[in-house]
Amino acid sequence: MSGINSSKLIQWFNQVKRDLPWRKTKEPYAIWVSEVMLQQTQVITVIPYYLRFMKRFPDLFALAEAEQEEVLELWRGLGYYSRARRLWEGARYVVQMTEGRMPENYDALLTIKGVGEYTAAAIASIAYEERVPVMDGNVKRVLSRILRWEEDVEKARSRRFFLEYLKEVIPGDCPGDFNQGMMELGATVCTPKNPRCEQCPLQEDCESFALGDPQVYPVKKSKEKPTEAFRPTLILLHRGQVLLKKRPTTGLLANLWEFPGEEMMIPSLEKFREGKEWYGLYKNQISDPTYDEIVKELLSRNPSVKGPLVHTFSHRRWQMVWVVLDLDDVIDKSSEVRAGKDSQLKEDGLCWMDVKELDRIALPVAFQKIWTKLQER
């Protein structure tokens, strides 16, 4: 079995590494933030978010003292908001448990809420030069090609084998550069398609290159198709405000704001396209009866049903349709109809928000798409 020449890899990395802001520091908090942001997100997208985040939250204390809503707002557009919540919760945990002193080794880092094996290994090796390997998609791809690994790289057996292999080849003097070199190699040279083998410092070590077709690897099982679902959505407007609802604390888009609606099976789509079922959806979503008659009147006018607009999550695909109900079209402008009972709205997780504030909250991309379409009218 071929072996990785760690000296060649590190020498190559130090010559060609990209000039990224988080590579200019060994501060563990800064590395933590960067690694969380980089999960499932491209480097070029992360850079401006990282710079803004670090300017607003330059240390653990600043992040821990912030309100979760502010953290989510600063994260808006990066997606996968659970990452931001876990980072914020982890910062609060460190401040509470160790008075803000970051743990200084891999095992201790794992005690932080929300820090998994990959993030702990990245921080430990880069900030503290601990000899512990990292394992991400880029590293799996590089190893699968170098070792000509014939099994599904996502299997637990593959992961165990790769980690044991890396523990043997990772150097003790600069493990952080080795780990970053492996990730850099996968990101810039040993890419999923059209790998630049002529630029690879490990070309002589690569068994799949010797066979002449590196793109055969990694071996992966076919991905399951995302579940198809239908998502009717209500856009209620009143006096420059729009009605928003807080999603549940667990599950898809947990704890984020959305326009009222619910996920349904695809067969329901035609009924909503025909204008049916909208009032039933409204009653299911909003228990406060303040606007029942007004909504019923607006729906009787057969408002245009917009969509479908498709949004795909990792394991689910929504077909979204929506109706816009402007309550001011019915309410006498001289009347004093209130925007619902505050206590009842809160019980339903609802609130009226100024439409100008939508750009400042963590509104999921799926609903940003709807709002953008609405603005194009």
pLDDT for residue 318: 94
Q: Is the distance from CB of 189 to CB of 127 less than 8 angstroms?
A: no
Would the pLDDT of 268 be above 90? no
- The total of other beta-carbon atoms located within 10 Å of residue 375's CB is 9
Would the pLDDT of 269 be above 60? yes
Would the pLDDT of 335 be above 70? no
- The total of other beta-carbon atoms located within 10 Å of residue 319's CB is 17
Percent of the chain with pLDDT over 70: 94
Mean pLDDT of 242-265: 89
Residues of the chain with CATH 1.10.340.30: 6-216
Would the pLDDT of 115 be above 50? yes
**Cα angle for residues 301, 320, 76 (degrees, 5° grid):** 115
Backbone CA torsion sign across 21, 22, 27, 33: positive
Would the pLDDT of 364 be above 50? yes
To which residue do tokens 């292999």 refer? Answer: 165
- For 20, residues 6+ apart whose C-beta sits below 8 A from its C-beta are 34, 43, 47
pLDDT for residue 347: 67
Q: Is the distance from CB of 296 to CB of 290 less than 8 angstroms?
A: no
pLDDT for residue 334: 43
Mean pLDDT of 55-79: 93
Higher-confidence residue: 372 or 314?
A: 372
Beta bridge partners of 317: 228, 312
From 51-55, 183-187, 269-273, the region with the lowest mean pLDDT: 269-273
Q: What is the CATH number of domain 227-375?
A: 3.90.79.10
Would the pLDDT of 342 be above 90? no
- Is 1.10.340.30 the CATH classification of the domain at 6-216? yes
pLDDT for residue 223: 66
Would the pLDDT of 143 be above 70? yes
The helix (run of H) or strand (run of E) holding residue 237 is strand 227-238
Distance separating alpha carbons of residues 19 and 323, to the nearest angstrom: 47
Distance separating alpha carbons of residues 82 and 104, to the nearest angstrom: 25
What letter does residue 68 receive in the DSSP assignment?
H
pLDDT tens track for 146-174: 999 999 998 999 999 999 999 999 999 99
**Smallest Cα–Cα separation from 165: which of 187, 148, 182, 143?**
143
Predicted TM-score (pTM) of this structure: 0.71
Distance separating alpha carbons of residues 193 and 313, to the nearest angstrom: 23
Would the pLDDT of 2 be above 90? no
- For 191, residues 6+ apart whose C-beta sits below 8 A from its C-beta are none
Mean pLDDT of 345-374: 86
Residues of the chain with CATH 3.90.79.10: 227-375
Beta bridge partners of 152: 219
pLDDT band, residue 249 (cuts 50/70/90): confident
From 109-123, 230-244, 312-326, 345-359, the region with the lowest mean pLDDT: 345-359
Q: CB-hemisphere CA count at 13 Å for 234? A: 26
Would the pLDDT of 339 be above 50? no
Distance separating alpha carbons of residues 94 and 79, to the nearest angstrom: 24
pLDDT tens track for 3-41: 799 999 999 999 999 999 999 999 999 999 999 999 989
Query: What is Dmax (Cα atoms) for the chain?
Result: 82
- For 185, residues 6+ apart whose C-beta sits below 8 A from its C-beta are 9, 12, 13, 138, 142, 200, 201, 202
- The total of other beta-carbon atoms located within 10 Å of residue 364's CB is 19
- The total of other beta-carbon atoms located within 10 Å of residue 352's CB is 17
pLDDT for residue 80: 85
Beta bridge partners of 241: 238, 354
Higher-confidence residue: 76 or 233?
A: 233
Alpha helices for the chain (secondary structure H): 6-16, 28-38, 43-56, 60-65, 68-75, 82-98, 106-109, 117-128, 137-146, 156-169, 175-188, 207-211, 269-273, 278-285, 292-300, 342-347, 365-375
Residues identified as active-site = 35
pLDDT tens track for 228-240: 999 999 999 999 9
Q: Is 184 helix (H, G, I), strand (E, B) or coil?
A: helix
DSSP-assigned letters across all residues of 72-139: HHHHTTS--THHHHHHHHHHHHHHHHHTTPPP-SHHHHTTSTT--HHHHHHHHHHHH--------HHH
Mean pLDDT of 81-95: 94
pLDDT band, residue 340 (cuts 50/70/90): very low
Residue at 314: amino acid letter:
S
